[in-house]
Copies of this chain bind each other. A is one copy, B any other.
Amino acid sequence: MTAAEEAGPQSVRVNLLFNERPVRVPYGVTLFDAASWNGIAIDSTCGGHGTCKKCRIRIADDPPVPSSLDIRAYTPQEIRDGWRLACRTAATRDTRVEVPPLTTRPKAATVGVGRQVILRPAVQKRYLELAEPSLADQASDLERVLAQLEDLEPRAELSVLTTLGRTLREADYKVTAVVVDDVLIAVEPGDTTARRFGIAFDLGTTTVVATLLDLSTGTPAGVESTLNKQQPFGADVITRISATMMDPGALDKLQNLARETLAELAQAVCAQGGVEPHEVYEVAVAGNATMTHLVLGIDPEPLGMAPFIMATRLYPEVLAADLGLGGVVHPRGRAVVFPAFGAYVGGDITAGLLASGMDRDARVRLFVDIGTNCEIVLGNREWLLATAAPAGPAFEGAAIRCGMRAADGAIEVVTMTPDDVSLKVIGDAEPQGLCGSGLVDAVTGLVRVGLLDSSGRFITEDEARVRAPGLAGRLRRIGKERVFVLHWRGPGNPAAEDSIYLSQRDVRELQFAKAAIATGWQILLEEAGLEAADVKQVLLAGSFGSYLSPASAIRIGLVPKVPVMRVVSAGNVAGEGAKMALLSLRERAGGLALLEEVRYVELSDRADFNDRFVDQLPFPPG
């Protein structure tokens, strides 16, 4: 590992300005992904391999060094003007990006981790000009419509029939049939074939994200995120399950809060995209098992205690109305709910694996979604192993003395030398606390400069004055506990109690979390008969994992010791998987097929788990 690699990227977030729309993305992702994840449509048909040359963008101010593919794609003048391929340009600094409007009607979309998806959405529309009935042709109204949809062989819903007669006659027998999968859900007057939309939801325990997709083009038409309204019932899934066990009314309340969260997001993205509610014919939901159970009103109690049993792995046919969206999308809109591998490897992970193509790649890859519950999947296109590790709330900022979520004022990057500490704060604001990536960075820095020994204990003040003379003054005590001050609040050198600090107990919390995770992937590697070096790529997924410094993650042993370039941020793969399910029936089937392809490894019944966990507590040698 070179010194540069060791230091890692200077920032874990990059500010971009796409056509004057500001977005914030993990360091190093391509500008194509950065745009796509934020609802900004860029042409692409090659899956991000730089071959279709459609993903044209312009960086007018101080354009980056062109890649060899850029040089083949553009004239020298264009290169000088800042034209680049979005799929080949990484976000490594704050940048202003111009995206030309879409010129083609795409047949494919690039989503997830470089996945090219041929557009074949479940939502199909057909414009029909029907013959008027007569005494010589008394076919029923429905037969008349179905005769034109023979290749789709849909079944009709009762709701279509209630108004079909009036619609046909008022529209002069010129109508558009809306078929979702194998169901005729609507017959609309006139030709509405140009308008069909879906909403992909990433239903997280903390944050919920909705992406409105134009299903005809595969392009996003709106993205919104918000906190899950269930938050007051607890930060993690266990506290929410517990709530349903204490209070018989809590399940209803939690279900309604989840439904309200989805409904508000649906309204927001439709407003953003200029789409009428009835033009949204399908939604897809990727969430962990608890979130999925709760939003569907399924009693989650058996998920919360051994032996951790789901009501179902595969969900039955569900309508958008069953998710509380009846009034904000098409009243008979359908819903795709991602199936789960286990109580703690849920539909969000199924969606994430689909989006990252874990079952398509020949390379052995490790997928790690870091959170209170950490889901880990190892494998390639031949085999896949999955497990869940109970990491605890450290990464969410909970149980950390000065912890906070990754919001404005959170220290997200900590860079440490023996002489000084420098911080990067979200929103460039006065520091308010430490978020998960800052926590990992801080501990990594302290280990690297030697203020923490490999067991995770602060060294003595005397030793500190020798090893890191510029930092020794930051080692303090609050009561009996030793702390390291990251940031003095106010002028001068006030009491440690008022500073933003990292305590000995905080370090222990992180050690427990990373030991649980490392035990998880260690066991999977052993089950597969592999070693860390065999892992060709580590995908850091989820809202926390995506913003983690790969170098720090490696340094403290959160991920296997591989070259830092092999550790990549995969972004919000759950949401990407949900988008894929809306855009392609084939990909949707692929998501289902994953259930058969993944073997779930339960950690909680392994006799050797505790021994292995203790083995993983120390920090690896530098």
| Chain B residue at minimum C-beta to C-beta distance from A302 | B165
B316 touches A134 (CB 8 A): no
A301 touches B136 (CB 8 A): no
Contacts of A313 in B (CB 8 A): 140, 142-143
Task: Report how far A600 CA is from B133 CA in the complex, Å.
Answer: 16
Contact A316:B158 (CB < 8 A) given known A141-B310, A165-B299, A165-B311? yes
Contact mask for chain A residues 119-138; partner B; CB cutoff 8 A; 1 contact, 0 none: 00000000000000111111
A166 interface neighbour in B299, B308, B318, Cβ under 8 Å: B299
Q: Is A453 an interface residue (CB 8 A)?
A: no
Contact mask for chain A residues 136-161; partner B; CB cutoff 8 A; 1 contact, 0 none: 11111111000000000001111001
A138 touches B318 (CB 8 A): no
Query: How far does the Cβ of A591 sit from chain B's closest Cβ, in whole Å?
Result: 17
Task: Report how far A507 CA is from B137 CA in the complex, Å.
Answer: 36
Contacts of A317 in B (CB 8 A): 155, 158
B342 touches A312 (CB 8 A): no
Contact A316:B140 (CB < 8 A) given known A135-B306, A165-B299, A296-B161? no
A309 interface neighbour in B165, B297, B315, Cβ under 8 Å: B165
Contacts of A318 in B (CB 8 A): 158
A155 interface neighbour in B163, B316, B604, Cβ under 8 Å: B316
Contact A296:B141 (CB < 8 A) given known A135-B307, A164-B311, A165-B311? no
Task: Report how far A340 CA is from B312 CA in the complex, Å.
Answer: 39
B158 touches A322 (CB 8 A): yes
Q: Is A498 an interface residue (CB 8 A)?
A: no
Contact A142:B312 (CB < 8 A) given known A306-B135, A318-B158, A604-B135? yes
Contacts of A309 in B (CB 8 A): 133, 138-141, 165
Q: Is A68 an interface residue (CB 8 A)?
A: no
Q: Is A162 an interface residue (CB 8 A)?
A: yes
B605 touches A135 (CB 8 A): yes
Contact A140:B604 (CB < 8 A) given known A166-B301, A296-B158? no
A602 interface neighbour in B138, B311, B342, B604, Cβ under 8 Å: B138
Q: Is A195 an interface residue (CB 8 A)?
A: no
Contacts of A157 in B (CB 8 A): 316
| Chain B residue at minimum C-beta to C-beta distance from A155 | B316
| Chain B residue at minimum C-beta to C-beta distance from A164 | B311
Q: Is A598 an interface residue (CB 8 A)?
A: no
A311 interface neighbour in B138, B142, B343, Cβ under 8 Å: B142
Task: Report how far A169 CA is from B342 CA in the complex, Å.
Answer: 19
Contact mask for chain A residues 32-53; partner B; CB cutoff 8 A; 1 contact, 0 none: 0000000000000000000000
Task: Report how far A135 CA is from B302 CA in the complex, Å.
Answer: 12
Contacts of A137 in B (CB 8 A): 307
Contacts of A307 in B (CB 8 A): 133-135, 137-138
Contacts of A165 in B (CB 8 A): 298-299, 301-302, 309, 311
Contacts of A315 in B (CB 8 A): 158, 161
Task: Report how far A296 CA is from B142 CA in the complex, Å.
Answer: 15
B138 touches A312 (CB 8 A): no
Query: How far does the Cβ of A598 sit from chain B's closest Cβ, in whole Å?
Result: 13
Query: How far does the Cβ of A147 sit from chain B's closest Cβ, in whole Å?
Result: 13
Contacts of A140 in B (CB 8 A): 309-313
B342 touches A605 (CB 8 A): no
Contact A135:B316 (CB < 8 A) given known A299-B163, A302-B141? no
Query: How far does the Cβ of A155 sit from chain B's closest Cβ, in whole Å?
Result: 6
Task: Report how far A164 CA is from B301 CA in the complex, Å.
Answer: 11
Contacts of A314 in B (CB 8 A): 142
Task: Report how far A317 CA is from B299 CA in the complex, Å.
Answer: 27
Contact A308:B138 (CB < 8 A) given known A297-B162, A299-B166? yes
Contacts of A310 in B (CB 8 A): 140-141
| Chain B residue at minimum C-beta to C-beta distance from A167 | B299
Contacts of A605 in B (CB 8 A): 135-136
Contact mask for chain A residues 479-521; partner B; CB cutoff 8 A; 1 contact, 0 none: 0000000000000000000000000000000000000000000
Contacts of A162 in B (CB 8 A): 296-299
Contacts of A135 in B (CB 8 A): 306-308, 602, 604-605
Which of A134, A165, A342 has the largest number of chain B CB atoms within 10 A? Answer: A165
Task: Report how far A302 CA is from B604 CA in the complex, Å.
Answer: 65
Contacts of A342 in B (CB 8 A): 138
| Chain B residue at minimum C-beta to C-beta distance from A306 | B135
Contacts of A298 in B (CB 8 A): 161-162, 164-165
Task: Report how far A80 CA is from B100 CA in the complex, Å.
Answer: 102
Query: How far does the Cβ of A592 sit from chain B's closest Cβ, in whole Å?
Result: 14
Contact A156:B316 (CB < 8 A) given known A141-B302, A162-B298, A307-B135? yes
| Chain B residue at minimum C-beta to C-beta distance from A135 | B605
Task: Report how far A158 CA is from B320 CA in the complex, Å.
Answer: 13
38-84 of chain A: CB within 8 A of chain B: none
| Chain B residue at minimum C-beta to C-beta distance from A255 | B162
| Chain B residue at minimum C-beta to C-beta distance from A319 | B158
| Chain B residue at minimum C-beta to C-beta distance from A140 | B310
Interface residues of A (CB under 8 A from B): 133-143, 155-158, 161-166, 169, 296-299, 301-302, 306-318, 322, 342-343, 600, 602, 604-605
Q: Could you list some 17 contacts between A and B, CB below 8 A?
A: A133-B302, A135-B306, A135-B308, A135-B604, A138-B307, A138-B602, A140-B309, A142-B311, A155-B316, A158-B296, A158-B316, A158-B317, A161-B298, A161-B316, A162-B297, A163-B299, A164-B311
For the A-B complex with A140-B310, A164-B312 known, give 12 more contacts whose Cβ atoms are closer than 8 Å.
A135-B307, A139-B309, A140-B311, A141-B309, A142-B314, A161-B296, A161-B312, A161-B315, A162-B299, A164-B299, A165-B298, A165-B302
For the complex of A and B, 7 pairs with smallest distance between CB atoms: A135-B605, A142-B312, A140-B310, A165-B302, A135-B307, A161-B311, A133-B309
